[in-house]
Amino acid sequence: MDWSVITTSLITACIPSAFAYLTATIQSKNKLKEVESQFKNEIYKLDKQHEHQIELLTVQFNQENQKSEKDIINDIAAGVITGKYDMSQLLNVSQEAEKLSKFSNQNKS
């Protein structure tokens, strides 16, 4: 066989293969960037949803906590009025609760 035939065959096979390789590489990089962008947007969206849910749960917790406090205060006031509770007992319980709260705060830090 002649070298010119081999060279021609080799060139005609290599050039389209090189173009196909370059095209596939460029397409895969573009697709990868597209997928990466989609995932970043999805992660951002989920992050915002979670922040909103956390804020919602915090507000809900605070409302329930305030309601519980009001219920306890109303119960104590009704008990004092009806004679169920004595003011001196309530003051003692209040002082003990304050001591317990201070002790609890000291242990947290």
Amino acid in the structure at residue 55: E
The pLDDT score that the predictor gives to residue 52 is 97
Q: What is the pLDDT of residue 54?
A: 96
Give which of 33, 38, 36, 10 is closest to 25, Cα–Cα: 33
Mean pLDDT of 5-25: 91
Task: Assess whether pLDDT exceeds 80 at residue 106.
Answer: no
List the Cα angle 65/70/74 in 5-degree steps.
150
Ranges of each domain in the chain: 3-108
Q: What average pLDDT does the chain have?
A: 88
**Prediction pTM value:** 0.54
pLDDT of residue 103: 76
Kindly list the distances between the CA atom of residue 103 and the CA atoms of 12, 69, 92, 106, 108, in Å, as whole numbers in the listed order. Answer: 86, 21, 17, 5, 9
pLDDT of 109: 54
Q: CB under 8 Å to 76, separation ≥6 — which residues?
A: 85, 90
Of the listed ranges 15-24, 27-36, 66-75, the least confidently predicted one is 66-75
> How much of the chain exceeds pLDDT 90, in percent?
47
